[in-house]
A and B are shown apart, each in its own frame.
Chain A
Amino acid sequence: MIRFLVRRIGQSILVLVASSIVVFGLYFVGPGPDQVARTFAGRLGTAARIAQIKHELHLDQPLYVQYGHWAWGLLQGNLGYDYYKGQPVGSVIAAAAPATISLVLGAAIIWIVYGVFTGVISAVRSRSLLDRAFTASALFFYSMPTFVLGFALIWIFAYKLSPVTTFFPFHGYVSITSNPGQWFEYLILPWLTLALVTAATYTRLTRTSMLEVLGEDYIRTARSKGMKENRVITRHALRAALTPVVTLAGLDIGIALGGVIITETLFGIPGLGWTVIQAINQQDRPVILGITILAATFVVVANLIVDLLYAVVDPRVRLY
Chain B
Amino acid sequence: MSIRVNLIKPEEARRQGVVGMKFLTYVSASTAVAILLIFGGLSFMRYETGKNDLTAALNIWETREPMYNKSLKMKEDLATEKRFQQELRGWQAARIEWKPLLIELRKICPPTVQLRRLGIQGDLFIKQKPAAAPVDGEDSAKAAAPSLGLAMRWYTITMDGKAAGAMAEDIVVQFVRAFGSDPLFKPLFEKPPQLNSLQRDTTQGPDQPVRIFTIEGSTQKREMREPRAGQSP
Bound pair (A, B): no
